[in-house]
């Protein structure tokens, strides 16, 4: 193994961009939401007016979130899927032209994107688990496409370059299920295809399962090392890292987390409040890489991991 030069420690840490996922633990930054039940009880015009106010509030909260990240050295922020509440709902969904404040809402989100770009921040999305592009149920695929198109639209406003999904189900036949995933990609607009990525999970699809799909369809692999450790294949962490990096035409984005009760405890799939530095792969150090920190302590965990990595690289 090559001996580490002490002088390159800060540089090795600085090349990493650590990401915060959606919410805050201690900061008074909150995002608003509503339910289909609540909006469904209202007259359409009143419901759209309320949704418009929530969208405006969320644009303001997003700017505060990005400003916090820029101020504290957090390099990426994952935007909540419900940043525009009920946007892709099959009955209550809407376009921005339907909202009384539609143009202003778009402008506010575009201002967030401009700030992120000026500040060197990355933004991304990770749609909810109901997004299943290879579902055998047509209505699920329809809903998935609507949701991905919505998030790709907002991604354009906020300069996000990742909308990340899981591979979906296997349905008793992984090759067929992955073929269905690939075929349903044809239903997505070029805008949605440009930002779509796929992630290995902790139960069904490993990196080795998804890498052929990524190569054939030109979809980057978001390598989740925690999922890989829970649901392994024939690849080592270092090998999976190298192969995942090659699927990207921009800065790769990966995920890290630690098990709440340790690797020998029950249900290691569950996430801890913080990240154990030993769970952060050494193969990721020194790379131009975004790593989203999936930890319950949110911004506190991201900042603690950054300090741990800086300390490790300096020694």
CA distance 296 to 273: 4
CA distance 92 to 110: 24
User: pTM, whole model, 2 decimals?
Assistant: 0.94
φ, ψ for residue 221 (rounded to 5)? -95, 120
Q: What is the pLDDT of residue 13?
A: 75
Q: What is the pLDDT of residue 15?
A: 84
Residue 124 bridge partners (DSSP): 78
Q: Which is it for strands 289-293 and 196-199: parallel, antiparallel or unpaired?
A: unpaired
CA distance 139 to 45: 27
Q: What is the pLDDT of residue 304?
A: 97
Residue 151 bridge partners (DSSP): none
Domains in the chain: ranges and CATH: 16-25+74-89+121-314 (3.20.20.150)
Q: In what order do the strands lie in the sheet with 16-21?
A: 221-222, 196-199, 163-166, 122-125, 76-79, 16-21, 289-293, 253-256
Cα-based angle 122, 220, 81 (whole degrees, multiple of 5): 50
Task: List Cα–Cα distances, 71 to 13, 17, 75, in angstroms.
Answer: 18, 14, 10
Q: Which residues contact 183 (CB under 8 A, 6 or more apart)?
A: none
Q: What is the pLDDT of residue 170?
A: 96
Q: Which residues contact 57 (CB under 8 A, 6 or more apart)?
A: 31, 32
Neighbours of 107 (CB within 10 A): 12
Q: What is the pLDDT of residue 9?
A: 59
Please, what are the averages of pLDDT over each run of 10 residues along the chain (315 residues)? Answer: 47 86 97 97 97 98 98 97 96 95 97 98 94 96 96 98 97 96 97 98 97 98 97 96 98 97 89 95 95 98 96 87
């Amino acid at each position: 193994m090559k001996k580490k030069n002490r002088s390159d420690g800060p540089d090795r840490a600085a090349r990493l961009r650590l990401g915060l996922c959606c919410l805050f633990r201690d900061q008074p930054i909150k995002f608003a939401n509503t339910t289909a039940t609540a909006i469904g009880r209202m007259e359409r015009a009143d419901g759209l007016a309320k949704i418009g106010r929530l969208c405006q509030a969320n644009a303001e909260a997003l700017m505060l979130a990005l400003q916090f990240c820029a101020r504290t050295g957090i390099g990426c922020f994952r935007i909540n899927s419900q940043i525009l509440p009920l946007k892709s709902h099959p009955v209550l969904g809407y376009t921005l032209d339907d909202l009384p404040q539609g143009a202003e809402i778009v402008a506010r989100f575009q201002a967030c994107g401009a700030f992120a770009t000026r500040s060197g921040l990355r933004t991304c999305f990770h749609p909810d688990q109901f997004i299943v592009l290879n579902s055998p149920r047509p209505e699920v695929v329809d809903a998935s496409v609507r949701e991905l198109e919505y998030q790709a639209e907002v991604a354009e406003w906020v300069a996000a370059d990742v909308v990340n999904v899981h591979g979906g189900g296997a349905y008793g036949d992984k090759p067929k299920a992955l073929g269905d995933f690939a075929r349903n990609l044809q239903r997505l607009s070029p805008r949605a295809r440009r930002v779509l990525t796929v992630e290995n999970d902790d139960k069904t699809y490993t990196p080795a399962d998804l890498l052929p799909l990524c190569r054939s369809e030109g979809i980057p692999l978001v390598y989740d090392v925690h999922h890989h450790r829970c649901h392994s294949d024939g690849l080592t962490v270092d090998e999976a890292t190298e192969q995942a990096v090659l699927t990207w035409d921009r800065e790769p984005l990966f995920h890290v987390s630690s098990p709440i009760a340790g690797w020998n405890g029950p249900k290691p799939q569950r996430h801890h409040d913080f990240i154990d530095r030993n769970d952060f792969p050494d193969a990721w150090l020194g790379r131009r890489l975004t790593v989203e920190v999936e930890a319950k302590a949110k911004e506190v965990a991201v900042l603690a991991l950054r300090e741990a990595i800086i300390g490790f690289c300096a020694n």
